[in-house]
Amino acid sequence: MRTLARLLLSCLLVAVLACLAGCNVVAMKQAGIERTMRDAGLAPADVRIGPDTLHYWSGGASAGKAPTVVLVHGFGGSAIWLWYPQVADLARDHRLVVPDLLWFGDSRSDERDFTIDHQVRALEALLDRLGDREVDLVGVSYGGLVAHELASDRAAAVRHLVLVDTPGRVYTLDDYHLLCRRLGVDHLGKVLIPHDTAGVEGLLSLAYFDPPWIPGFALQQTLTALYAPYREERVALLDSLLHDVAAIEARPVTLRAQPSVIWGRQDPVFPLEVGERLARSLKTPLRVLENARHAPNLEHPEEFNRILRGILASGG
């Protein structure tokens, strides 16, 4: 009987996978994420500001009770894919702005400027257009670098700066070369911008302590939908980042926001030592999530949301 039950279960699994193989599971997941956003009171919009076209979601609680929270994503497909586990929780008592950075999701630019400063200018222009005079910034990975510079450039208007698995201004070229050696590549783009399904699996193993299993056809759909667009531009963003590191490090510190740092203990991209270095430089506690790698907000959303809400409510 047990053998028969296992056989039936295997047949059922094969049938389900065969059915799913005929569907676009990434499109289905995208639709589900968008429903989550809309159910939380957010709506999508596009705005053209100079050479930049910015796509973003905004909404949630009425303005006035608390500053707007801006969620800045890292090197992934789009903002909502990286932040949807936080949206419903935060939107209950915060207004949210969830933008796609330039050359991610549906944001783009006619200006071939791939510096972090261009990303900062684009977000500043968006916040000005939306009329947000005071904000809390939450940035993960590459988005944390952008958020840190935005908080410095817009010092009087940023109340909280929450940096998640991102090195801020303590990162060095030596750190970058060590990272490439750990990952066995000569350019980070070979990992962050995968070319095949094995690369997508490798990226998941960096993001998750316990990566989700994804069938091969869904990996191919993920590669096509999330990592094929703007491939050339994203490589240019990483190339520019190497030049930006030294220039940013030399800038005077103008940060006035209350900083906070959250980290996945097993992060292989930016190891915990980098987080400890950043927390010391900002004179703030380091909050560490166990059994988490580079995307703790995705892997442990309940714990991450509890920490983030505490930061936003208490001043860090």
pLDDT tens digit sequence for 100-155 = 999 999 999 999 999 999 999 999 999 999 998 889 999 999 999 999 999 998 88
Extended beta strands in 63-181, E state: 68-72, 95-99, 108-109, 135-140, 158-164
Dmax of the chain from CA atoms?
72
62-110 pLDDT per residue, tens: 755 667 999 999 998 899 999 999 999 999 999 999 999 999 999 999 9
| φ/ψ (deg, to 5) at 111 | -90, 125
Is 272's pLDDT higher than 60?
A: yes
Place of tokens 């009770």: 65
The Cα–Cα gap between 80 and 43 comes to 12
Give the pLDDT confidence score for residue 16 in this predicted structure.
36
Asked if the model's pLDDT at residue 206 lies above 50, the reply is: yes
Q: What pLDDT does residue 64 have?
A: 55
Helix (H, G, I), strand (E, B) or coil at 26: helix
In the predicted model, is pLDDT for residue 235 greater than 50? yes
Cα–Cα nearest to 284, from 158, 166, 161: 161
Contacts of 46 (CB under 8 A, 6+ apart): 53, 54, 55, 56, 106
pLDDT of the residue at 9: 35
**pTM of this prediction?**
0.91
Cα–Cα–Cα angle for 88, 154, 113, rounded to 5 degrees: 90
CA torsion sign for 73, 77, 78, 80 is negative
Q: How far is the C-alpha of 75 from the C-alpha of 230, rounded, in Å?
A: 12
Token digits of residue 167: 């090195």
> Can you list the domains of the chain with their CATH numbers?
31-314 (3.40.50.1820)
